[in-house]
Amino acid sequence: MSGANNISTLVTIVYGLILTDLFASMHRLIRNRSRVRWHWLPLLVSWYVLVIVLKNWWGLVFSGEESVWESGWIFFFYGHLLMLLYLVASAALPDDVPAGGLDMLEYYVEHRRYFWGLFAGVNTTLLVFALLRPAISGQPPNWLAALSNIVMAVVAISLAWVGRIRYHVVVVLALVALVVLEMIQKF
């Protein structure tokens, strides 16, 4: 097994752990549904996280560029990206449902700074990755990807700091619409 295959296997295992955490949180919510006051916004945000994780994994698997792993710097930054994605997925939904019950909207509002702050970190790491990867391979930078990650980091920071639910509703719906359009275009 080559070094690139070993790294791809490790990355795939971590992506699997990310999805497992997200799925387990949803499972616990559904199992305890009688004590959960549901709200669609945190569920949509968790679906958005699912799509982002799957999209990143898909992009990695089908990039066909095993040479990307020849740089220790790429591996270093990608490892940080995986850690941040794991933390984002872990923060998207609560880990348990207290005996007194759980209000999903309250959970979302209470944890928005942590969640969206991590999401800003994901996009900042992706920005570094978008600039570093071409520099190492001798190709020109993907300025569109870099700009997209800057915009997404700023949007995530705004979601972390703005507490108005209407703002979150509008922005999250826009983010979901954008990712759905991107999926339609790529698939």
Q: Model confidence over 128-149: pLDDT tens digits?
A: 888 887 777 778 888 888 999 9
Per-residue model confidence (pLDDT) at position 175: 97
Predicted confidence band of residue 39 (pLDDT cuts 50, 70, 90): very high
Quote the distance between the C-alpha of residue 141 and its chain's center: 23
Give, in degrees to the nearest 5, the angle at Cα 49 between 104 and 92.
30
Predicted confidence band of residue 125 (pLDDT cuts 50, 70, 90): very high
Per-residue model confidence (pLDDT) at position 78: 85
Alpha-carbon separation of residue 106 from 1, 30, 38, 59, 63 (angstroms): 48, 17, 10, 34, 40
Quote the distance between the C-alpha of residue 173 and its chain's center: 16
Per-residue model confidence (pLDDT) at position 68: 62
- What is the rounded average pLDDT for all residues in the chain? 90
CA-CA-CA-CA torsion for 41, 46, 51, 57, nearest 10 degrees? Answer: 160
Confidence check: pLDDT of 34 > 70: yes
Q: Which residue has the higher pLDDT, 89 or 143?
A: 89
Q: Model confidence over 147-167: pLDDT tens digits?
A: 999 999 999 999 999 999 999
CA dist., res. 157 & res. 165, Å (int): 15
pLDDT above 90 as % of the chain: 67
Task: Tell me if 70 sits within 8 A of 9, measured CB to CB.
Answer: no
Q: What is the pTM of this model?
A: 0.91
* Boundaries of every domain in the chain: 3-186
Per-residue model confidence (pLDDT) at position 73: 79
Q: Model confidence over 45-82: pLDDT tens digits?
A: 999 999 999 988 887 776 656 666 667 777 888 899 99
Q: Which residue has the tokens 């710097």?
A: 73
Show the DSSP H helices in 32-164 as ranges: 40-61, 72-92, 104-137, 143-161
Per-residue model confidence (pLDDT) at position 92: 97
Separation of first and last alpha carbons in the chain: 30
Using DSSP, state whether 1 is helix, strand or coil: coil
